[in-house]
């Protein structure tokens, strides 16, 4: 029972993310004037989702065609996104940093804090200031307005 619920949640999450990706492809095509084709394949069940652009032409080049294109295409690797996410997490929470991070090409980068640590603060007793052990509670009176006024 619990396994079915978890599976259903995963399926719903995947479906929503795929729809959002397809919607982004549509927006990129219509708002930026780009030619977009998108194929999404679920390796578990081999299910395909294909976004076909407005002109109806779905162009899927071979790797040889991609390598021979002029100007050469920019190939983006998943590792680049993983490195960017890891570095972003370290910037948001530097206390988790182990002293180094990985760049997009896999090289180690030493992380240095942007600001030096502040000096330690030790409060001192001021002259003429007496710390009260317990403050007395003060009674507060609130004046209620008559409903007849106003």
For the chain, list the domains and their CATH numbers. Answer: 2-58 (3.40.1810.10), 79-110 (no CATH)
Residue partners of 48: CB distance under 8 A and separation at least 6: 39, 40, 41, 42
The torsion region of residue 128 among left (phi > 0), alpha (psi -120 to 50) and beta comes to: left
| pLDDT, average across residues 58-84 | 85
pTM of the model: 0.50
Q: What is the pLDDT of residues 99-117, one digit of tens each?
A: 555 555 556 666 555 667 7
How far is 98 from 92, CA to CA, in rounded Å?
14
């Amino acid at each position: 029972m619990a396994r079915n619920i978890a599976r259903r949640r995963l399926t719903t999450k995947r479906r929503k993310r795929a729809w959002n990706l397809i919607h982004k492809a549509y927006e990129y095509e219509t708002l930026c004037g780009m030619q977009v084709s998108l194929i999404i394949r679920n390796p578990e069940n081999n299910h395909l989702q294909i976004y076909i652009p407005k002109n109806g032409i779905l162009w899927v080049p071979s790797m040889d065609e991609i390598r021979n294109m002029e100007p050469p295409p920019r190939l983006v690797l998943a590792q680049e996104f993983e490195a960017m996410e890891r570095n972003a997490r370290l910037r948001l929470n530097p206390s988790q940093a182990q002293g180094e991070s990985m760049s997009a090409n896999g090289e180690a980068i030493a992380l240095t804090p942007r600001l030096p640590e502040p000096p330690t603060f030790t409060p001192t007793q001021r002259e003429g200031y007496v710390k009260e052990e317990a403050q007395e509670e003060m009674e507060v009176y609130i004046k209620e307005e008559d409903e007849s006024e106003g």
